[in-house]
């Protein structure tokens, strides 16, 4: 029977073979020679050869000291580094299957990823998590799959395809393929000791597996309370000051590459410490398919933070040794005897271009290519009727009315405006666009509506079923006609993204697997996504860093502070209030 990692390193006579090879009594299976080892333990870049036996590093020794090996890899002029560890991500954000994603990042030196499949869980429930675990077991690199803690992410404020309570998570956390409790997003529920979240976190702690966090906007007493509850990490860094307070709170930080505008200030803040904290790790969180195809995954984060001034060996330590420490995986994270032979041979520690990758002692080019697993069980249509333009209008009595608005993308706040009416419908307030959310699981459900301000001028519509974290059908637009066209296009495609202008679909990316991913090759998905993004550049007026295309996918994230529109209405996680209509009354 195949032993689960890391116990597999104790199987059979592997250790004996490694000891014999280290002593010179037996040859290595693989010898990497001529390069320099990136020693993340001492901080040195030193000339050394590396001898491997099976999946185990047996020896790191002076250059040229050994030549006896069944196979060799010439690393002359290159750097032998530990395989990279991405400590937090959602494969679904790349809109491809897990195998496609893993093949893309493994070739770039990412040998381990920590996957929170809560997108699949929120849409498909336990079936989605079981599918994720099965995909992980057959992946070309190492996927450490977590149990989604927040399904839904904001109970009572949204409707998803499942509801995971403490009893459900007790069962899931006992699965051998589950390695921890995924990001705990219901921050208010944790802090106020709401029974549901108390039970979920308690099950995570009782499992003995790590409890991962989502502490966006928390500071002072609330941050202390959240950490005291048992949460041990966070990736929701909003500023350099926020990074500092969370490091001081003892959290493992998963510094993410998906918010590039924050990285220069964070790197500068880290340089002010006597040393880079060992609780700093790196993650991607969300990588869109065009970025994955063009720039990569965690290797791209390394390139950027070193360009912003972090010493390369410190960045590499965060992406390897620190990450292994956080995960309790002492077999990973360093090029040293007794560690697992997950190695990336980089051209240098500036470009971090992987010239060769060894996973579990085998060079990836020598691996047999296996077909992707079937996605049929998650490929289902949306439970939606067809839409007319009247579905995307807000009803109101004649006259002028007061309406609630959601002001600004990402860091949203409540607003109010006066609007006129015509024919029993509200004219969107000046300077606003309309947003609609429809429960994807129930046919005949009417859209909930909101007016967004601070999103610039739009000349069309956008529809998506990638809408964190409930992933209900979400539509944005300047007019009801284009919104209906976009919604019907996505209904017909069984999920995906559509950009519409002047009543015509300008770009479409079908995502028929749970409305989240495609089975097509990465270059095809990346190209289609780029086409949608390009079309949206013509429809919307963006203003980075917050008013960007990416903001459309998080506009329904009801667990975050401030107002957000869900399938139930305009919600507020801090108060628990829900407005089923933006109309507040007569003006």
Mean pLDDT of the chain: 95
The DSSP element (H or E) to which 234 belongs, if any, is strand 233-234
Find where tokens 């706040």 sit. Answer: 413
Are the CB atoms for 139 and 147 separated by under 8 Å? no
DSSP state of 149: S
The pLDDT-based confidence of 369 (bands split at 50, 70, 90) is low
The Cα–Cα gap between 27 and 458 comes to 67
Are the CB atoms for 299 and 316 separated by under 8 Å? no
The CA distances from residue 304 to 113, 352, 360, 422, 549, in Å, are 19, 10, 28, 52, 21
The per-residue pLDDT for 365 is: 78
The Cα–Cα gap between 546 and 549 comes to 9
The percentage of the chain sitting over the pLDDT mark of 70, rounded to a whole number, equals 98
Are the CB atoms for 583 and 401 separated by under 8 Å? yes
562 is written with which tokens?
């401030």
The CA distances from residue 278 to 27, 247, 315, in Å, are 36, 10, 11
The CA distances from residue 41 to 282, 306, 350, in Å, are 17, 18, 19
The pLDDT-based confidence of 371 (bands split at 50, 70, 90) is low
Average pLDDT over residues 155-166: 93
The Cα–Cα gap between 61 and 337 comes to 10
Using DSSP's 3-state secondary structure scheme, residue 198 falls into helix
The percentage of the chain sitting over the pLDDT mark of 90, rounded to a whole number, equals 91
Are the CB atoms for 412 and 562 separated by under 8 Å? yes
The CA distances from residue 154 to 19, 304, 313, 566, 583, in Å, are 53, 33, 40, 10, 23
Are the CB atoms for 438 and 90 separated by under 8 Å? no
Largest CA distance in the chain: 92
Asked if the model's pLDDT at residue 2 lies above 90, the reply is: no
CA 133 to chain centre: 16
pLDDT digits (tens, 9 = 90+) for 461-477: 999 999 998 999 999 99
Asked if the model's pLDDT at residue 1 lies above 50, the reply is: no
Asked if the model's pLDDT at residue 366 lies above 60, the reply is: no
The per-residue pLDDT for 382 is: 85
Are the CB atoms for 289 and 94 separated by under 8 Å? yes
Are the CB atoms for 516 and 466 separated by under 8 Å? yes
Please list, residue by residue across 572-586, b when 16 or more beta carbons sit within 10 angstroms of its beta carbon and e when fewer do: bbeeeebbebbbeee
Asked if the model's pLDDT at residue 280 lies above 60, the reply is: yes
The Cα–Cα gap between 582 and 51 comes to 66
Are the CB atoms for 252 and 231 separated by under 8 Å? no
- Planar angle of CA 550, 555, 560, nearest 5 degrees: 110
The CA distances from residue 491 to 473, 478, 497, in Å, are 9, 20, 10
Predicted TM-score (pTM) of the model is 0.94
List the beta bridge partners of residue 79: 36, 346
DSSP E strand stretches across 321-460: 343-346, 354-359, 362-363, 401-407, 413-419, 421-422, 425-426, 432-438, 448-453
Q: Pick the closest to residue 82 from 378, 320, 396 (CA basis).
A: 320
Asked if the model's pLDDT at residue 525 lies above 60, the reply is: yes
pLDDT digits (tens, 9 = 90+) for 226-253: 999 999 999 999 999 999 999 999 999 9
CA 532 to chain centre: 21
List the beta bridge partners of residue 345: 80, 356
The CA distances from residue 350 to 122, 300, 308, 326, in Å, are 39, 11, 11, 25
Q: Pick the closest to residue 392 from 319, 480, 314 (CA basis).
A: 480
314 is written with which tokens?
């410190």
pLDDT digits (tens, 9 = 90+) for 74-131: 999 999 999 999 999 999 999 999 999 999 999 999 999 999 999 999 999 999 999 9
Asked if the model's pLDDT at residue 563 lies above 70, the reply is: yes
Are the CB atoms for 488 and 508 separated by under 8 Å? no
189 is written with which tokens?
């529920």
DSSP state of 138: T
Asked if the model's pLDDT at residue 72 lies above 90, the reply is: yes
């Amino acid at each position: 029977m195949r032993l689960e990692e890391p116990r597999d390193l104790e199987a059979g006579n592997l250790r004996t073979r490694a000891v014999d090879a280290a002593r010179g009594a037996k040859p290595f299976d693989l010898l990497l020679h001529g390069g320099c080892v990136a020693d993340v333990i001492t901080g040195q870049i030193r000339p050394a050869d590396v001898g491997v036996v099976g999946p185990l590093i047996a020896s790191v020794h002076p250059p040229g000291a050994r030549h006896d090996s069944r196979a060799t890899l010439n690393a002359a002029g290159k750097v032998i580094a530990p395989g990279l560890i991405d400590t937090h991500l959602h494969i679904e954000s790349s809109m491809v299957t897990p195998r496609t994603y893993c093949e893309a990042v493994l070739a770039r030196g990412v040998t381990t990823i920590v996957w929170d499949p809560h997108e699949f869980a929120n849409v498909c429930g336990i079936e989605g998590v079981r599918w994720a675990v099965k995909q992980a077991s057959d992946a070309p690199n190492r996927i450490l799959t977590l149990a989604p803690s927040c399904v839904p992410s904001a109970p009572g404020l949204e409707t998803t395809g499942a509801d995971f309570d403490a009893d459900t998570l007790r069962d899931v956390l006992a699965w051998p393929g589950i390695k921890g409790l995924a990001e705990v997003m219901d921050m208010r529920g944790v802090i106020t000791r709401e029974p549901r979240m108390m039970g979920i976190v308690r099950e995570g702690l009782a499992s003995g597996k790590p409890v991962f966090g989502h502490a966006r906007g928390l500071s002072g007493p609330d941050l202390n309370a959240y950490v005291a509850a048992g949460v041990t990490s966070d990736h929701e860094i909003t500023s350099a000051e926020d990074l500092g307070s969370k490091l001081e709170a003892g959290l493992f930080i998963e510094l993410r590459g998906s918010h590039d505008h924050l990285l220069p200030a964070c790197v500068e803040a880290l340089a002010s410490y006597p040393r880079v904290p060992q609780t700093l790790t790196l993650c991607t969180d969300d990588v869109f398919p065009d970025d994955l195809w063009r720039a990569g995954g965690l290797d791209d984060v390394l390139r950027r933070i070193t360009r912003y001034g972090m010493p390369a060996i410190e960045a590499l330590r965060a992406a390897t040794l620190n990450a292994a420490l956080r995960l309790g995986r002492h077999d990973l994270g360093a090029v040293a005897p007794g560690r697992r032979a997950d190695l990336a041979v980089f051209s240098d520690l500036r470009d971090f271009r992987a010239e060769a990758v060894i996973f579990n002692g085998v060079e990836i080019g020598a691996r047999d290519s296996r077909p992707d697993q079937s996605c049929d069980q998650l490929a289902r249509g949306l439970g939606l009727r067809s839409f007319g333009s009247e579905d995307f209008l807000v009803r109101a009595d004649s006259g002028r009315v007061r309406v609630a608005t959601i002001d600004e993308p990402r860091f949203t706040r409540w607003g109010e405006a006066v609007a006129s009416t015509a024919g029993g419908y509200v004219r969107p307030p000046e300077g606003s666009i309309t947003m609609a959310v429809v429960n994807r699981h129930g046919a005949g459900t009417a859209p909930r509506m909101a007016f967004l301000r601070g999103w610039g001028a739009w000349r069309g519509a956008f529809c998506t079923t990638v809408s964190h974290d409930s992933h209900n059908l979400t539509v944005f637009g300047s007019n009801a006609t284009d919104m209906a066209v976009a919604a019907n296009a996505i209904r017909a495609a069984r999920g995906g993204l559509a950009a519409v202008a002047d009543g015509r679909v300008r770009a479409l990316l079908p995502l028929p697997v749970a409305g989240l991913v495609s089975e097509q090759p990465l270059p095809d998905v990346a190209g289609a996504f780029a086409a949608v993004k390009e079309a949206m550049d013509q429809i919307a007026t963006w203003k980075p860093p917050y008013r960007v295309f990416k903001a459309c996918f998080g506009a329904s994230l009801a667990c975050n502070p401030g107002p957000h529109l869900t399938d139930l209405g305009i919600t507020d996680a801090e108060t628990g209030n829900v407005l089923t209509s933006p109309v507040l009354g007569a003006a």
